[in-house]
Each structure stands twice: as structure tokens, then as C-alpha cells.
Structure 1
């Protein structure tokens, strides 16, 4: 008989077996290890064993699902108004579909019992309490568009597609900044200031990115003044989706609103990538939402290649993601 219970401290080896059996369409980082599970999941200060639900049969773990919460507006604590289902997985089993449905239902119950008015399946930062880098690239991409099994299951249970993201990668071998007159002009007037392992902007950022090494480039006028933008890269190390890639994830990229559409974003990104290439980094991964055409255009100018896409789902109160 199939039963369900909360996570126990003896579960990690069995959870890893379930993880390793997931089809390639899930896009999960392989091989998974106890150390990575501890760093990116179990050690989080808001980890609640009741939210990691385990399916077992005759003493053998055959599936699990993990639900948690996003941050409040100040990002100094969690908010139980928004629930997030991070992982839904089961081994190959005659009742696999029923197991996944039961796990999903229990995740929803766990979240709603604690006050969730809306539930997301999959979430990029800041809706990423667990599994950074373990589910595909520089950020969490939601459910990969190739994962038709999960897509159909969620839609049948009343979840709606709320957004899509595109995942990009760029080899830095012999990187050359794009030829653009504005970039040459900006090089005379602005400089990049690197910050290694910069201070976290908030408690939530420390929780999500704390275990990683990061470098941030701030864009500043050469004559002095406030920063006009920044871009951050985190060392994906063993989490890179390609072997021996020396991969870094590109995140937290912005230009001051008053200075946008002047080529400063292209300048900041291209100069940062050149710096990384000179430091021995050979590849960068990033992602952006499909409803951000400006970001997509910029990535393509930098010769980033789209590799796959992911879907985010919501259920509950209508609200923009």
C-alpha cells in the first residue's frame, strides 16, 4: 500500500535515487549528491520537513514533492500568502500518475493550511526558496516545455500557465564585444567596478545565493557619481548543465531607468563578459521571461543562443507574476 509522510533525516539517499531516475525532459542536474541536497535544500533556515512530502511503499521511497514559500515584500522573512511547489517526482511505477497526483494534492494542502492564497509551480528568483541550480541553469526555469507529462498533469488539476522563460547560453571562447558606436563612446565615459562576493541586499538573497561565489560589476561614471547599473554572475561550478564548462550564471542585471535605451546595458554586459573570459570562464548561462523583448534582443546581440524554455504555473488568486 502506498503511504505518504513528511521528510525524515534518513531519507536523502532514497530521495537521490528517485531524483536520478527522472527523465531527461525534466532538466534536472545529474548526478545529484547528498552534499548538494544539503547545501541547496535541507540547510535553508526556512526548511520545514512537513513541506517535503515522501511517498513510500513497503518501506521503499517511490516519490517525493517539496513545497515552500516565497519572501515578503521587504525580503526579510517568508510570506505564507504565496506557496511554491518546487519539485514533483516519482520513480517508474505502475501507479506513477496516481502517486504524482497525490503528492501534488498534499503539497497544495500543506500550503493552503498555512495561509497560501496563490500557488506557483516552479519559480525563478525571488520565488526560488530551494534547488537553485539543481533544476536547470542559472535560475529555476519552471517546468521545461519538453516535460509534457508534468504539463498535462498540472493543467488537469486547474493550474494555468502564467509565464514562460527562455534559457540562453554563451561560449566565451575568443569573446569579442559587438561592434557598436555607443559602446566605444561609453568606454570613454564609464567604468566597471568589480565586487567579489558582494554584500547581500536582503536576508532572502543571502538565503538563496549564500552558498555560491559571486562577482558583481557596477557601472559608474569615470568622473564619479552614483552607480548607474549592475550585473551579477554566480559560479555554477558542478551545477553547470554542461560538463567541464566553467559555467557562471548571469543574474540581477539592470540599468537605471533614466539611462536606459542608450546602449549602456550592452556596454555593461559585453565588458563584463570580456572580463570573465580573461579570468578563465568559458561559458555563461542566463534566462529571461518571454514578455521582456528588450532583454531577449540584448542577449541575441551578444550572440547568446537559446537552449530551452520553461513554463510557470499558478493556481488561486489572479495576480501578475
Structure 2
């Protein structure tokens, strides 16, 4: 008989057991220690054990679902009117037995009872309370299409695609071969700075990144000292174990509007790749929304290739049953 209950403090080893069985694809971090659960999930200020439901067959853990709130408009606080089913896992031997459907229902009921009127599945910026650092790759892309069971399962339960993020990677073990006639002028005009990213922006970003220490690569104008372009990178340690090579993830790229269309973004990315290659990284990943065609063109021009895509989904309210006192 399958039983369900909320998270308890001694559950991380069980979560790791389910995780490494259920999430065996390219886009999930390989969890090597239960401490990862504390770092990336239980340490969140809005973490609620009732939002983390585990399924058991006797004493054997066979699945779980993790839910959380979305972000408000300026990323300064959570917004519980938006609820996100962030992760849903069932080990391979127990699939197609109704466990996933029951876990999803319990996630939906939890979110609705805590004020959610919009229900999403798949954590994607800005509504990504969990998954960064352990699922999805360099950022939070929603559920990956390489996890082939996700889309048909969610669509069966009334969810429709609500946003797509494309995942690009570049291998850098070999020659980089990035040439541009503008680079010579840019080298004379700008200084490359590599500094710790001590301020991450919004409260929501601070929560996502936790104890992670990203690095900023910045191009400063030699005459004015003003930063004109910047890119933020982090070491994807858990994914490095999965991909068998050190990996780095690009979080964002900014070019001052007055300096755009002059090759500055391409030059900065080329310098980043050169530095990471010298530090013996093997893969660099970036995620870009499908609507951002200029960024897609930029990263393709320096050798990045598509390897996956992620989607977030929104449920059609007609698929939701009325809540009653027994929906716990």
C-alpha cells in the first residue's frame, strides 16, 4: 500500500535515493550527499515541510513532490497567489501506478489552500522557488523536454505550455576559434575585470543562490572606468559529476545600451570562454528564452549549440476539482 506524508528532518537520504533513480537524465544534478537537500531546498526561508510530500511503499521511498510560491513583481518577496509544482519524481519501477497523479493532486491542494489562484508546473524565472542548483542546468528552465515523461503527464492533467527556455552548451576542451575583426579595437578600449559577485540583485535572487559564490566578468572602459558589459558565471558542481567534466553556467549577460551592436557582448563571452578553458572547465551552459533572438544569435556565433529545452506549464482551472475538508 502506498502512503503519503510531509517531509521530516530525517528524510534527506530517502530523497537522494528517489532523486538519483528518477532523475537520471542530462539535466539533473547527481546528488552525492543528503546535505544537498538542506542547501538547495530546506534552507529556503519559505520552505514548508507540508509542501514536500513523500510517497512510500512500506518503508521504501518511491516518490516525492515539491511545491512553493512564486515571486512578486519586483522580486522582493514571495507571492502565494502563484503556486508552483517545482519537482515531481517517481522511481522507475513504480511509474504508471497512479503515484505521480496523487502527488500532483496533493501539490495542487497544498498550493490552493495557501492562497494560490494560478497553478504552474515547472520552476522558471521569475517563479522558481526551488530547483536552481540541482535540476535544469545553469538556471531554472522549467521541466526539461529531455525528461520525456513530463510533458504528456502534465498535459493529461490539464496543464498547457506557458513559456519555453532553450538550453545551449559549448564544449571548450579544444581550440575555441572565435574571431572577429572588432576584437583588436575592443582590447585597446576595455579592461577585463574578474571579481566576486557580492551583490546579486533582488531578494529573490539572493534566496535562489544561497551560499553559492558566482563570479562576474566585466569590461570596464579604460578612459572612464565605467563598466560597459558584464556576465555572471557559477560553477555547476553537481552537474559536473553527471557530465564527467567540470561545468560552468552563465546566469546573465548585460551590455550597456550605448555600447551595443559593436561586438562587446561577443568579445566578453570569448574572453570568458578563454579563461574557463585555462581553468580546465570542459562545458559552459547558458539558457535563453525562445523570444530572445538577439541573445540566441550571439551565443550561436561563439559556438554554443542547443542541447535541450525547458517549459513551464499552467493548469486549466476546469481540470481542478473543488476543494473540500478531506483534501489534505
- Determine if the TM-score, normalized by the shorter chain, exceeds 0.5: yes
Is the Cα–Cα contact under 8 Å of residues 76 and 204 in structure 2 kept in the other structure? yes
Are positions 1:9 and 2:9 aligned together?
yes
Residues of 2 paired with 1:7 and 1:23: CA distance? 19
User: What is the aligned partner in structure 2 of residue 108 from structure 1?
Assistant: 108
Secondary structure in 2 matching 1:224? coil
Is the Cα–Cα contact under 8 Å of residues 228 and 259 in structure 1 kept in the other structure? yes
TM norm structure 1: 0.89
Q: Mind listing any 5+ residue stretches in structure 1 that lack a counterpart?
A: none
Give a deviation string over 1:20-76, Cα, whole Å, max 9, x none. Answer: 221634742224420211211112222111110122233433211000113223323
User: What is the aligned partner in structure 2 of residue 149 from structure 1?
Assistant: 149
User: What is the aligned partner in structure 2 of residue 159 from structure 1?
Assistant: 159
User: What is the aligned partner in structure 2 of residue 67 from structure 1?
Assistant: 67
Alignment of 1:104-183 (within 5 A): 104-176=104-176, 178-183=178-183
Check 1:62–1:85 CA distance in 2 against 1; reply closer, same or farther (3 A cut): same
TM norm structure 2: 0.87
Alignment of 1:198-277 (within 5 A): 198-240=198-240, 242-277=242-277
Residues of 1 paired with 2:36 and 2:237: CA distance? 12
CA RMSD of aligned residues (A): 2.3
Is the Cα–Cα contact under 8 Å of residues 18 and 62 in structure 2 kept in the other structure? yes
Give a deviation string over 1:85-114, Cα, whole Å, max 9, x none. Answer: 111011245664411111111111111222
Q: Displacement, 1:291?
A: 1.9
Q: Displacement, 1:166?
A: 2.0
Residues of 1 paired with 2:242 and 2:148: CA distance? 23
Deviates more, 1:16-25 or 1:105-114: 16-25
User: What is the aligned partner in structure 2 of residue 186 from structure 1?
Assistant: 186
Residues of 2 paired with 1:238 and 1:153: CA distance? 27
List, as ranges, runs of 4+ consecutive aligned residues in structure 1 with deviation greater than 6 Å. Answer: none
Give a deviation string over 1:258-315, Cα, whole Å, max 9, x none. Answer: 4332322111211222222233433311111222221111111111122222222123
Residues of 2 paired with 1:268 and 1:204: CA distance? 27
For these two proteins, the number of residue pairs brought into alignment is 317
Secondary structure in 2 matching 1:24? coil
Is the Cα–Cα contact under 8 Å of residues 117 and 316 in structure 1 kept in the other structure? no
Residues of 2 paired with 1:299 and 1:262: CA distance? 15
Residues of 2 paired with 1:73 and 1:311: CA distance? 20
Q: Displacement, 1:81?
A: 2.2
Check 1:74–1:311 CA distance in 2 against 1; reply closer, same or farther (3 A cut): closer
User: What is the aligned partner in structure 1 of residue 297 from structure 2?
Assistant: 297
Residues of 2 paired with 1:117 and 1:182: CA distance? 51
Deviates more, 1:77-86 or 1:125-134: 125-134
Residues of 2 paired with 1:62 and 1:14: CA distance? 9
